Amino acid sequence: MNQCLFCRIAQGELSVPFVWEDEEFVAFRDIDPKAPVHVLVVPRRHVDSIAGLADEEPAYAGRFLQAVVAVARKEALDDPERGFRLVANTGPEGGQSVAHLHAHLLGGRRLAWPPG
């Protein structure tokens, strides 16, 4: 059994409700939300991080971004009057706490910059 937390969630081994899914990606709510909408978009297959993905698999990286936009639309964040923030932490110094590619989709209110 794979011990990667997000692999286990994406494969349905853990009881986490998906807000969106397709054959390659899943999306679920963050357990510690930083905004009214805080959804994680995660590949079903294990990918360590976003680093190098665009060079190694540009088509897959494009589909990942399409999945993010599909989730934003489902959460009604794609309206130009609303918008959203997309964050992909990479590595320990970048704040990546789970070594599996995931994007944080945040919205539902005006988000401050810099975050914090």
CATH of the domain at 24: 3.30.428.10
Which of the four pLDDT bands, split at 50, 70 and 90, describes residue 31?
A: very high
| Confidence at 1, pLDDT banded by 50, 70, 90 | very low
Q: Name, in order, each residue with C-beta under 8 angstroms of 61's C-beta and a sequence gap of 6 or more.
A: 50, 53, 54
Let me know if residue 115 belongs to a domain. Answer: no
**In-domain check, residue 79:** yes
* Mean pLDDT estimate for the chain: 92
Q: Is the pLDDT of residue 98 over 50?
A: yes
Assigned domain for 17 exists: yes
At residue 51, the pLDDT reads 86
Given the residues 38, 46, 100, 102, the one annotated as active site? 102
Instruction: Domain of residue 100: give its range.
Output: 5-107
Structural domains counted in the chain:
1
pTM across the whole model: 0.92
Q: Quick check: is 9 in a domain?
A: yes
Identify whether 72 is part of a domain.
yes
Q: Are 115 and 46 in contact (CB under 8 A)?
A: no
Instruction: Label residue 3 by pLDDT band (50, 70, 90).
Output: confident
User: Is residue 116 assigned to a domain?
Assistant: no
Please tell me the distance from the alpha carbon of residue 69 to that of residue 104, in angstroms, as a whole number. Answer: 12
Determine, yes or no, domain membership for 112: no
DSSP conformational letter for 43? E
In a domain, 113, yes or no: no
Per the annotation, the verdict on 102 as an active-site residue is: yes
**Banded model confidence at residue 59, pLDDT cuts 50, 70, 90:** very high
Q: What band does 116 get if pLDDT is binned at 50, 70 and 90?
A: low
36-58 pLDDT, tens digit each? 999 999 999 999 998 878 777 88
